[in-house]
Structure 1
Amino acid sequence: MPHQLTVTLTNDERTTLETFIHRGKANARTLTRARILLKSAEGWSTSALVAAFDVCEATVTNVRKRFTQGGLEAVLHDKVQQHRRSALSGLQTAHLIAIACSPSPDAHDHWTVRLLAQKAVELGFVTSISPNTIHEMLKKNELKPWQHEHWCLPSVGGEFVAAMEDVLDLYEEPYDPQYPTICLDEKPVILHADVHPPVPVEPGKPERIDYEYERKGTRNLFVMVEPLAGWRHVEVTMQRTMQDYARVVRFLVDEVYPHAEYIRLVQDNLNTHTSAALYETFPPSEARRILQRVEFHYTPKHGSWLNMAEIEIAILERNALSRRLCRVLAVETERNRQRRGIAWQFTSRDARVKLERLYPVKERMLD
């Protein structure tokens, strides 16, 4: 058995170690070394330290050796590792970044580390290079050529901000039952049913749902929400047609708000969301009667986030539509009973500051 190094601490060193351990702000490995050193000075044997701190003998020996050679500083702080020389020069790295940011070869969906290594050798930037070196270069430069995102790049201008501010100003108005504000949106869904019943949750086991399902067709959900009153309704239809939309508008006018002067309907620019849909569905006199009690407010194109019905749809997706058997009615009933409203905070004033880049003409700053 190798000779056990003797550890002797001064009063100041002991105080420093005790304070360091008491604060507990270092990582677990460093705190363990400090405790081993303190107990070694109290005369604990190597075997006792191994059992107490669940470490190997080499760790105990190494702590004592570090203290003997470098004092407390060597025990409480790890050595700063020498920076390894990069396998790639700055110019080689720049060339590789340029390749990774270029279109991938025709026969491949994206650049891989092996493809990049082959291309670098082919172009003569390096004589040879390992895929691991390529991986480290990509990681260091936060490049992920195998990933891509779908993104909407709208063309915004006066038309966009005009529609945006119209909706935002409407949201700022106080609640008035004579002129209720209703947000309307649609959501197509695919209906699935379980072939085998799910296995309920058990201690230590999550609910288990069989991968096999039975398709039950599709439906369209018209989601209506009055944010300030805490009311919502989901109308389920077989299709998404002009006639379905027109009937929903008549439902709002005649059944939900029969005593209102008119309703203010916030909706997107879907091709069926027009006043023409009512003339395609009802006689002219009936269509005109309904339209005289509706004021349309359209969100800008690519601005669906301005429609609060999107928030309600997200809640439905989380609580009902994520299951194979949709529980839309249950969610609607519960939220209506609790009068769950939507507190919209974003205003036109906020938009002119946070979305200033969208405005064709900027607001003049007052001196």
Structure 2
Amino acid sequence: MAAQVAGTVFAKISASQTGRILADLDLKPHRVRGWLTRRDSPDFWERVADVCSLYRNPPEGAVVLSIDEKTAIAARSRRHPGVPAAPGRDVREEFEYRRHGTASIVAAMDIRTGEVLSEPIVRNNAVTFTAFLARLDAVIEPGKEIHVVLDNGSSHTAKHTRKWFQAHPRWRVHFTPPHASWLNQVELFFSALTRRVLRHGDFSSRDDLIDKMDHYVIAHNEKAKPYHWTYDGTPLKTS
């Protein structure tokens, strides 16, 4: 940059002085922020309104579920034990780790209670997904209407899944808009699972990973509370 400036009408400037100027400006050209342009979906707002209305005013007497999969969860163990926190020092975690495979789960959350039912899956496809739905259908009281919130994953929109829903008319599907799976409340549960179990966990095997996730679900259900949708559509104020 100093050479570029030297070739202009401006006064000559050294490389070190250029570095000091850039440091003072706190420029960080290496930083990149990801962005995903919302797909031009004509029914975007209609889908959003439908899902939010379902959360805020669930139909009387109906079961309302939020279902999704969390896939390719890594079972990793650190090569050396971590060092616990001490006064003035954060917890230290070993950088190197061993891989022990991955696990995937499918989970259904009752939005009225916040309780979650989950199970490990080997494949994330329509056959596996409808088998999970069938198990739910078998334990939910006959005659009760079931509303389910789903994103647009391939296992949820496949022809096989559509046929299953047609054969089970008490199931009413509410799809989130494309690129808006965050509207699916079970994602809040997955976020808590990641923070409290997965991110800093140490798992000796795939079975150990699944066992610890199961224990978390059991503990979660003992004190489960529903998530309350509080956003009222008012634009957020800037600080």
2:28 is matched by which residue type in structure 1? K
- Between the aligned residues of both structures, percent identity stands at 22
- SS where residue 354 of structure 1 aligns? coil
Separation in structure 2 between the aligned mates of residue 213 and residue 315 of structure 1, nearest angstrom: 23
- Pick aligned residue for 1:150 from 15, 34, 41: 34
Instruction: Report the equivalent of 2:206.
Output: none
Query: How far did residue 139 of structure 1 move?
Result: 4.7
Asked whether the 8 Å contact 1:268–1:304 carries over to 2, the reply is yes
Asked whether the 8 Å contact 1:246–1:278 carries over to 2, the reply is yes
Query: How far did residue 201 of structure 1 move?
Result: 3.2
TM-score w.r.t. structure 2 length?
A: 0.79
Separation in structure 1 between the aligned mates of residue 144 and residue 213 of structure 2, nearest angstrom: 30
1:271 correspondence with 2:148: no
2:32 is matched by which residue type in structure 1? H
1:274 is matched by which residue type in structure 2? T
Query: How far did residue 166 of structure 1 move?
Result: 1.1
Instruction: Report the equivalent of 1:324.
Output: 202
Instruction: Report the equivalent of 1:295.
Output: 172
Would you tell me which structure has more helix in proportion to its own residues? 1
Listed one character per residue, the Cα deviations across residues 224-251 of structure 1 (whole Å, up to 9, x for unaligned) are 2112212112221122112111112212
Q: Structure 1's 296 and 135: CA in aligned 2 closer, same or farther, altered over 3 A?
A: farther
Separation in structure 2 between the aligned mates of residue 277 and residue 211 of structure 1, nearest angstrom: 43
Q: Rg larger in 1 or in 2?
A: 1
Query: How far did residue 212 of structure 1 move?
Result: 3.9
TM-score w.r.t. structure 1 length?
A: 0.54
Q: Structure 1's 122 and 340: CA in aligned 2 closer, same or farther, altered over 3 A?
A: farther
Separation in structure 1 between the aligned mates of residue 40 and residue 235 of structure 2, nearest angstrom: 15
How many residue pairs match? The answer is: 226
Q: Which runs of 5+ in 2 are unaligned?
A: 204-208
Separation in structure 2 between the aligned mates of residue 254 and residue 181 of structure 1, nearest angstrom: 15
Query: How far did residue 155 of structure 1 move?
Result: 3.4
Query: How far did residue 270 of structure 1 move?
Result: 0.8
Listed one character per residue, the Cα deviations across residues 193-241 of structure 1 (whole Å, up to 9, x for unaligned) are 3455x35637557655444433221221213211221211222112211
Q: Structure 1's 344 and 296: CA in aligned 2 closer, same or farther, altered over 3 A?
A: same
1:181 correspondence with 2:59: no
Instruction: Tell me: higher relative CO, structure 1 or 2? Use CA pairs within 8 A at least 6 residues apart.
Output: 2
Instruction: Report the equivalent of 1:169.
Output: 53
- Pick aligned residue for 1:224 from 92, 108, 132: 108
Separation in structure 2 between the aligned mates of residue 297 and residue 221 of structure 1, nearest angstrom: 21
2:149 is matched by which residue type in structure 1? V
Instruction: Report the equivalent of 2:181.
Output: 304
Instruction: Report the equivalent of 2:98.
Output: 214
Query: How far did residue 184 of structure 1 move?
Result: 1.4
**1:1-367 equivalent positions in 2, closer than 5 A:** 116-133=1-18, 135-136=20-21, 139-140=24-25, 143-156=27-40, 158-174=42-58, 176=60, 178-188=61-71, 189-196=73-80, 198=81, 201=84, 204=87, 209-255=93-139, 257-259=140-142, 261-274=144-157, 276-278=159-161, 288-289=166-167, 291-322=168-199, 323-325=201-203, 326=209, 327-347=212-232, 350=233, 353-354=234-235
